[in-house]
Amino acid sequence: MTYAETRRKIDPTKGDRLGDGSPNDNDRVEIGPTQLAFREWEAAGLHLPNLARMRAFRWNRLVQSLQARDYGGILMFDPLNIRYATDTTNMQLWNSHNPFRACLVCADGHMVVWEYKNSPFLVTFNPLVKELRSGASFFYNVCGDRVAEDATSFAAQVIEVMQAHAGSNRRLAVD
């Protein structure tokens, strides 16, 4: 959902997209350069990365690696690995101590992110993420005495996705 006008009122000559391909709405959900950095790079004649192409390159690299090794998918919990695969971030330092996120990339390219339930907007900007779920929290402050029950539920979701997108291949890499 966006609350911005469809046409920029401040410097409409800049267009609808920034040089890296992200929306020019001054509302960036990913960690990235500030407007100051964009201006400095433009003044220095630097070319900006195309984030959509970068994301596609990373996704394709993961998928090709899975296929080359005959894996049905890779399940990631490490915040840096999730960032690489999805270009999304959410409380990375906190998540490294209290895991609540996961990402599954299947060999057919299907990507699922288990995100904190109140932060779907941190993932939905990336069209390579085909499914958004919640329920990957396995620490006592969230699960209490239900850790085993919640882990079983999460495992069932992983099995469900693998059955739908990896066929009979149950080989799963885990970071």
Residue 105 dihedral angles phi and psi, to the nearest 5°: -110, 125
Domain assignment present for residue 66? The answer is yes
- Indicate whether 133 belongs to any domain: yes
pLDDT reported for residue 50: 84
pLDDT given for residue 43 in this prediction:
93
Residue 121: the pLDDT is: 80
Is 14 within a domain?
no
Instruction: Give the CA-trace dihedral at 119, 97, 82, 143, to 10 degrees.
Output: -60
Does some domain include residue 79? yes
Residue 164 confidence (pLDDT):
98
Quick one: pLDDT at residue 72?
Answer: 98
In a domain, 46, yes or no: no
Residue 102 near residue 110, CB atoms below 8 Å: no
**6 located within any domain:** no
Domain that holds residue 119: 58-174
pLDDT tens, residue order, the chain (175 aa)? 455 555 556 666 667 776 667 677 766 555 667 778 888 988 999 987 788 899 999 999 999 999 999 999 999 999 999 999 998 877 777 777 677 899 999 999 999 999 988 888 888 888 899 999 988 887 777 778 888 898 899 999 999 999 999 999 999 999 9
Q: How many domains does the chain have?
A: 1
Residue 7's contacts (CB-CB under 8 Å, 6 or more residues apart) are: none
- Per the domain annotation, does 155 fall within a domain? yes
CATH of the domain at 91: 3.40.350.10
Q: What is the DSSP string of 88-140?
A: --SSHHHHHHS---EEEEETTS-EEEE--TT-GGGTTT-TT--EEE-----SH
Give a yes or no: residue 18 inside a domain: no
